[in-house]
Chain A
């Protein structure tokens, strides 16, 4: 078990490093989405500025672009839902394993 724990921690550290290194090494980079980069290529290939023929429903509803802060809120909600579900069930499994271990010990 201790071995698994070590492995998990090392793996998580590597993952964090991969994510953070570009942030520190590429100072001043914009970190825009590669979506935007994609649309730039579209205009390059077609030679003209491409006009999307359909605007996102949300933007139609609120009559404009979604404010950045609200967008980050919604993304956090998405993350929150995901993490919540993961953590809840993981917690249940952890407790169950603990109980089972105790039962086998007392028997």
Chain B
């Protein structure tokens, strides 16, 4: 059995690395300088309370048990990997995933804010991808709005007694899609259409982002389910401690 389990991990790793060498192009996030200063400040300020709650929530989780830091690191690494992989989509353009669903499900939505902003700062400074001025808006869409939706859907599926993996899949993929819906609205608020206003403008941005993002959202859902299966097999005590697994079952 152990031999087989090792193989799964190897395959998963090779798979992840293989995607790392996909040709790189520009991808999502609102670009540097593309939001008027007023909006940059507003979005930044909106993020602050979420980030503070996130910091406190991580601190609380870690004070319960220092061991959770490894799972937290893995969830963060998951965001790191997925948001660096740009994947071709049916519309003929590339985009990347957010990877925030996993952390949202395991640690709650606010904690993801901290993980997300680390990734966004890294990309903004070194990769000219996203940007420092749009950091607030990007953090809000990717690390706050998306995870909150993921978490809500996951909890809802739990209540409705939907199969756990289906719930995780839905949570991760819809959270990913929602991230891009929020991005569209952020852009639309800054650039309302002359005829039709914000709504018409948002529809235009959505028309660009949504078809590209849909297949990627599905991939993100699948990968999140896979990594949770892996963690369930090997890191049971930690997941139990986080309240993800209940008692002895499963």
Cα-based distance from A96 to B236 in the complex (angstroms): 11
Residue numbers in B under 8 Å from A37 (CB-CB):
93, 208-209, 212
Residue B240 at the chain A interface, CB threshold 8 Å = no
Which residues B84-104 have CB closer than 8 A to chain A? 84-95
A99: shortest Cβ distance to chain B, in Å? Answer: 11
Do B84 and A82 touch across chains, with their CB atoms under 8 A apart? yes
Do A71 and B93 touch across chains, with their CB atoms under 8 A apart? no
Chain B residues touching A, range: 35 or more
Chain A residues touching B, range: 35 or more
A11: shortest Cβ distance to chain B, in Å? Answer: 5
Which residues A65-105 have CB closer than 8 A to chain B? 65-66, 68, 71-72, 74-76, 78-87, 89-94, 96-98, 101
Do B4 and A31 touch across chains, with their CB atoms under 8 A apart? no
Cα-based distance from A93 to B158 in the complex (angstroms): 27
Which residues A1-35 have CB closer than 8 A to chain B? 1-2, 4-5, 7-9, 11-12, 14-16, 18-23, 26, 29-35
Residue A55 at the chain B interface, CB threshold 8 Å = yes
Cα-based distance from A29 to B25 in the complex (angstroms): 13
Do B34 and A52 touch across chains, with their CB atoms under 8 A apart? yes
Q: A35-B28, A71-B24 are in contact. Are A79 and B219 (CB under 8 A)?
A: no
Cβ-defined partner of B92 (8 Å) among A22, A52, A92: A22
Residue B222 at the chain A interface, CB threshold 8 Å = yes
Residue A59 at the chain B interface, CB threshold 8 Å = yes
Do A31 and B25 touch across chains, with their CB atoms under 8 A apart? yes
Interface centre among A16, A52, A80 (most CB of B within 10 A): A52
Cα-based distance from A89 to B77 in the complex (angstroms): 10
Cβ-defined partner of B32 (8 Å) among A4, A56, A76, A89: A56
A34: shortest Cβ distance to chain B, in Å? Answer: 5
Do B229 and A7 touch across chains, with their CB atoms under 8 A apart? yes
Cβ-defined partner of B33 (8 Å) among A52, A68, A93: A52
Q: List 29 A-B contacts (CB under 8 A).
A: A1-B5, A8-B226, A12-B222, A14-B222, A15-B219, A19-B88, A20-B88, A22-B90, A22-B92, A23-B88, A26-B92, A31-B23, A32-B93, A33-B27, A34-B213, A38-B30, A55-B33, A56-B132, A59-B128, A75-B86, A79-B19, A79-B80, A82-B84, A85-B80, A86-B74, A89-B71, A92-B70, A93-B234, A98-B2
Known contacts A41-B187, A79-B20, A92-B70, then 7 further A-B pairs from the complex at CB < 8 Å, ordered by chain A residue? A20-B88, A33-B27, A52-B33, A53-B33, A56-B32, A72-B23, A86-B74
List B residues at the A interface (Cβ < 8 Å): 1-2, 4-9, 11-13, 15-17, 19-21, 23-34, 36-37, 70-71, 73-74, 76-95, 122-128, 131-133, 187, 191-194, 201, 204-205, 208-209, 212-213, 215, 218-219, 222-223, 225-227, 229-231, 233-235
